[in-house]
Structure 1
Amino acid sequence: MAWFETWFDTPYYHILYKDRDFAEAENFISLLIKYLALPKDSKIIDLACGKGRHSVFLNQLGYEVLGLDLSKESILNNKKFENSTLKFKVHDMRKEIFPEILNEKSDAVFNLFTSFGYFENEVDDQKVFQSISNCLNDEGYFVLDFLNAKWVEKTLVKEARKTKEGIDFLIKKKIEDQHIIKDISFTDKGQKYDYFEKVKLHTLEEIENYGAEFGFERVKIFGDYKLGDFDLDHSPRCISVFRKKQQY
C-alpha cells in the first residue's frame, strides 16, 4: 500500500498534527471565500478533507459542502458532523467524482494544506485535475494550496523532535529526486513505529501546465494564508486559484 493509505488512518498521524492552527485555517478560508465572491448556497467540494474541520467551517458560512477523503477512519469520524447540506464520503481523488458521487456539478473545489503531490506516477496527478474539471460547472473555481518548492528547499530543517501526548516523534526530512521525504519514528507502549511522508515538489510551471491541460486558467497565485502576493523566493505557500474555462 502507498504511504498515504496507511499513515493517515493511524491515530498517530492525528496526534502528531493535532496542534495545527485552526484560527489561521479559518481566517484563510474566510479570506478565500471573500476573494472568490461565491454566492451563499454554492456547492463546494473539500477534496482530501481529513477530519473535516474546513468542511464544517465552510458549511457554517452557508455553503453546501461535500467532504471527500481516502481515509475511512477520518470519514467515519466526520459522519457526526453531517446535516442536510454537509456530507462526507470515502473517495480517491484520482477517480471520477461526477456523476458517481454527485447529482449535479459543483461551483468550487478546494484542495487545501498540501493534499496533492502524493503520487509516484504523473498520470495519477493528471487524473486528479481531470476529475476536478469534470465535476465543476463552467467558470467554477479550483483552489490548490500547495508548497512553494523553492522556499521548502531554502528552509529545510533536516531533523527535529516533537513530543505529543507523551510520545516522542523523531522527524527527519530530506529532498530526493524532486520529492520532500519526511521520516517519522517513535515508540509507543514499548513498540517501535516508522512511517514516512513523501510529497513531490511540483514547480509553479508544472501545476499551471496541469491546469491548462484540463481546461483551467490560473487567475491568481497567493503566497501565504493571509493571501499575500506570491514571491518565488520568500513565499511559504503556492496557492493557485484556477477557473474552469467556459465550454462551447
Structure 2
Amino acid sequence: MIEKKWYEKFYENYSNQYDRENFVIGTEKEIDFVEKEIDYNKDIRILDVGCGTGRHSIELAKRGYDVVGFDLSKDQIQKAREKMRKNNLDIKFYVMDATDYEFENEFDLVLMLCEGGFSLVGHDDLDDKILSNASRALKSSGKLILTAPSAIFQIRYNKNINLKTLREDFEFVKTDDDGNKEKIKANQRYYMPTEIKRRLKELGFTKIDVYDCELGNFRRVENSEFNTFEILVIAER
C-alpha cells in the first residue's frame, strides 16, 4: 500500500475545519480582485486548481461566472458540492490531481490560489508539471493567477529553511472534524519571484508580474517588498 503524502493526510476529514480557517475570510475581496483582472467578462471559462471546499469557485459562480474546480481531496470536494447545492449553483467539481489532468485549451483563466496544490508536493519536477498542466489548460490568450509561498519571506524570518534547496521540514498537529489529533511530518518548498518568472516564460507566458500577497487584499503593488508569506503571480500569454 502506497503511503499517503502529508498534504493528503492533512486534508482528510478536514473540510469543516478548513472553512473555519482565518484565511477564508478574505474570499470575497480576493474574487473582487480576480473580477477586475478579467474585466468583469462573464463570457469566459475559469478553472480553479486545488479548489479545496470551493470557496473561490462558489463566489465566482454566485457572480455569474462559468467555473470548473478540482482538488485531490475527496473530502474537500464533497464539501464543495454540498455548498454548491445549498447555494443552488451549477459548478463542475472533480476529484483530480494537479500533477495529472488533461484539460487542453479550454479555459480563459486558471486560478491556483492559497497555493492550490503548488509547492505542497515537495518535488520541483512535479511543481513544474502543475504549472505545465495549468498552461496547457489555458487558451492561447489566457491568464494565470496563482499564489505561492515566498522564499524571500522565509529567508528573512524562518531560521529552519534550507538555503540551498529553499525547503523546510517541519511537524504540526492536525485536529480533524471529529476532534481527533494527528502529528504530521511535512515538507514545504518556497519560491523566489525570479524562478517563478523563469518557469512561466519557458511555458510561453510573455507578461508576468509578481507582487506581495495579502490575504483578502490581492492587489498590484508598486515596488513590492515581498514581505508576505505568499507571493501573488499574474501571468498572461
TM-score range (shorter-chain normalised) is: 0.7 to 0.9
Q: Is the 8 A contact 1:41 1:62 kept in 2?
A: no
* In 2: Cα distance, 1:135 partner to 1:79 partner: 22
* In 1: Cα distance, 2:23 partner to 2:180 partner: 30
Using a 3 Å threshold, how does the CA distance of structure 1 residues 205 and 40 change in structure 2: closer, same or farther? same
Give the match for residue 237 of structure 1.
230
Give the match for residue 204 of structure 2.
215
Q: Is the 8 A contact 1:150 1:233 kept in 2?
A: yes
- Whether 1:96 and 2:75 are equivalent positions in the alignment is no
Q: Match for 1:40 among 31, 39, 42?
A: 42
1:49 aligned counterpart, secondary structure: coil
How far is 1:38 from its partner?
4.5
* In 1: Cα distance, 2:228 partner to 2:18 partner: 25
Question: For residue 167 of structure 2, what is the amino acid of its counterpart?
Answer: H
Give the match for residue 68 of structure 2.
66
1:208 aligned counterpart, secondary structure: helix
TM-score, with length taken from structure 1 = 0.78
How far is 1:84 from its partner?
6.6
Q: Which protein, 1 or 2, shows the higher relative CO under an 8 Å CA cutoff with sep ≥ 6?
A: 2
- Percent identity between matched residues is 24
- Whether 1:139 and 2:141 are equivalent positions in the alignment is yes
Greater shift after overlay, 39-48 or 193-202? 193-202
- Whether 1:175 and 2:161 are equivalent positions in the alignment is yes
How far is 1:40 from its partner?
0.8
* In 2: Cα distance, 1:128 partner to 1:30 partner: 25
RMSD: 2.7
Give the match for residue 28 of structure 1.
30
Using a 3 Å threshold, how does the CA distance of structure 1 residues 34 and 121 change in structure 2: closer, same or farther? same
Q: Is the 8 A contact 2:173 2:181 kept in 1?
A: yes
2:224 aligned counterpart, secondary structure: coil
Q: Is the 8 A contact 2:62 2:89 kept in 1?
A: no
2:70 aligned counterpart, secondary structure: strand
Using a 3 Å threshold, how does the CA distance of structure 1 residues 87 and 208 change in structure 2: closer, same or farther? same
1:33 aligned counterpart, secondary structure: helix
How far is 1:35 from its partner?
2.8
Using a 3 Å threshold, how does the CA distance of structure 1 residues 234 and 74 change in structure 2: closer, same or farther? closer
* In 2: Cα distance, 1:235 partner to 1:121 partner: 23
* In 2: Cα distance, 1:187 partner to 1:233 partner: 31
Question: For residue 234 of structure 1, what is the amino acid of its counterpart?
Answer: N
* In 1: Cα distance, 2:189 partner to 2:78 partner: 28
Greater shift after overlay, 87-96 or 118-127? 118-127
**Residue segments in structure 2 that go unaligned for 5+ positions in a row:** none
From the CA coordinates, give the structure whose radius of gyration is larger: 1
Give the match for residue 156 of structure 2.
154
**Residue segments in structure 1 that go unaligned for 5+ positions in a row:** 159-173
Give the match for residue 168 of structure 1.
none
2:161 aligned counterpart, secondary structure: strand
Give the match for residue 7 of structure 2.
4
How far is 1:192 from its partner?
5.6
How far is 1:190 from its partner?
10
Greater shift after overlay, 16-25 or 216-225? 16-25
Using a 3 Å threshold, how does the CA distance of structure 1 residues 196 and 25 change in structure 2: closer, same or farther? farther
Using a 3 Å threshold, how does the CA distance of structure 1 residues 39 and 30 change in structure 2: closer, same or farther? same
Q: Is the 8 A contact 2:45 2:107 kept in 1?
A: yes
TM-score, with length taken from structure 2 = 0.82
Q: Match for 2:59 among 49, 57, 69?
A: 57
Give the match for residue 86 of structure 1.
91
